[in-house]
Structure 1
Amino acid sequence: MGDVGPYPWLRAVLAAFAEEVRGLGPVLDVGCGPGEVTAHLAGLGVDVSGVDLSPKMVEHARRLHPRLRFAVASATDLDLEPGSLGGILGWWSLFNLPREVLPEVLASFACALVPGGHALIGTHVGAGDVPRTEAYGGVPVTWTTHLWQPGELGELIVAAGLELTAQLQLPASGQLRPQVLISARRAPEIAPGR
């Protein structure tokens, strides 16, 4: 689900996200892969950069989108400054994090957002874990896809310090499992006297 090409609902979610974060500060696409979603957001007027754990993916993203900023980094070791981001994106890039690690990563996302900043998380829906030995059309890999129920993931996002703002569930289609996108924000600051 990394690409947004033929998926109008995914493009609509990204357009809404862009509208919410535009002008709040920079946006970070965590697990950006080849940078397609990063580039899509940049085309919507968002000041966005991407990070990915794979040096090869970052190299590919830089080649495909030379005007954008990409770096090698792990979602578990981003060292984000508190209140430094208008938005943060986990576009089908967090499902391979161990279940016990995801809450800490989501908390780091929440801390990095400015008041009113938004996070958008997309993942596979289901129960249990699915070991993977190949991906991307037959490329050998070794990872586990951790499936999440939308309510369960929503609870983790709230526990991390964010307010849920929207959720889009996509049914299984072809060989794709059901999917969910959850939008959340850091609470805006309330002006004194209100």
Structure 2
Amino acid sequence: MLPPRTGTGSRASRQRLRSDRTATLQSLLAQTRGHLKDVSWWREQLAVVTEGDGHDDLFRAEWALALWAIPSGRVVADLLSEWESVLAELTERRRRVVVRAAMDLTWLGRLKGGPVEGTVGDARLKHLLEARQPKAPRVEREAARRAPTTPAPGLPPLAQVARDGAWFKVDAASTYR
């Protein structure tokens, strides 16, 4: 993963460490993007994160969020049970952060992997999966938005009430000084 941060050393060594961390991040991004459809690679990464000493909640949380955000929907669907179990093993605070970040990515439309087929037990994760499902095409959404609405039976339309009550600015008497 990333080299550890240290607060000691000269300015040059801190810049070198920052440069190393940036290079490592770029390398990780390139690797994850290179394995968008490779389920076995993501399983190997999970094994690296969950086995051995020195691995903590942060590494598992990074894996869970990366799995949600980067690979194809088919890869996420194939690893859905592992993803759910990794999230269940996280502390409540860390799990909330990962789920919130995943929701933000989903709602902002930043996911390119497509929908995920599968089921999960946790209600929050079910909501997350539902949010990742495709929405109606834009043409249908626009047509639904522009569709005429019918007023409740026995009540006049609000626009008619506003006109009759002279609620609009053009109905007000102008004052001149």
Normalising to structure 2: TM-score of the pair?
Answer: 0.29
Identify the structure with the greater strand proportion. Answer: 1
Identify which of structures 1 and 2 has the higher relative contact order when contacts are C-alpha pairs closer than 8 Å and 6+ apart. Answer: 1
Identify the structure with the greater helix proportion. Answer: 2
Normalising to structure 1: TM-score of the pair?
Answer: 0.28
